[in-house]
Amino acid sequence: MSAAPQRMIVGITGATGIQFGIRALEVLREMGVETHLVVSRAGEMTRAYETDMTRDQLHALADHVYPIQDVGAAIASGSFRTMGMLIAPCSVRTLAEVASGVTTTLLTRAADVVLKERRKLVLMVREAPLHARHIRNMLTVTEMGGIIHPPVPAFYTKPETIADLVDHALGRAFDCFDLDMPNMPRWGEEGEAAPSGAAVVRITP
């Protein structure tokens, strides 16, 4: 069998932080990865609250866009091969549906398909504080093979803008798919200085 196509499903839900989903689509296009986008109804509301971007402008960033209730879409089938799915941002409702396996939309159906096909599912869960059920749902998804990847900011890179924070958090999520975020600063790599006073330890085979 030939290698899986360079395709990724991108889900955007109603949690705050739609910038992560938008930036993911932009960077994946730069990387030459074909994107398949599905946005929840609450995600469309968040787009209007948090950006000046229109629905059409958001959809234009993706190669393929599916209505949220189109359960007959290609991404609802395991025979449609992809690298996996990134949900950015991921609401706790979406997390709960994925954890339960009771899916009500194309977005969560696609996530369920990714899990059953043993592909990569990365959830950039955006919620705080967390109660016990949130934490149990995260554990359940992890036990099912998913990756819980909250968009946690890193300050050792000395970010200067919000865009720097978004890119680094997204770059770490892309690492889960073995995709290299362009120009992302990494701890201890050649050409990247460690924070003042910190020692960089390199292990030579």
pLDDT in tens, 166-185: 999 999 999 999 999 988 88
Helices (H) and strands (E) in the chain, counts: 7, 6
d(CA 7, CA 186): 25
Euclidean distance between the first and final Cα of the chain, in Å? 34
d(CA 205, CA 190): 16
pLDDT of residue 3: 65
Determine if the pTM surpasses 0.85: yes
pLDDT of residue 191: 53
Rounded mean pLDDT of the chain?
A: 91
Domains, the chain: 7-175 (3.40.50.1950)
Instruction: With cut-offs at 50, 70 and 90, classify the pLDDT of residue 21.
Output: very high
| Closest C-alpha among 103, 84, 75, 104 to residue 24 | 84
Phi/psi for 123 (5° steps) reads -110, 115
d(CA 177, CA 111): 15
Classified as helix, coil or strand, 123 is strand
Residues 6+ apart with CB under 8 A from 77: 113
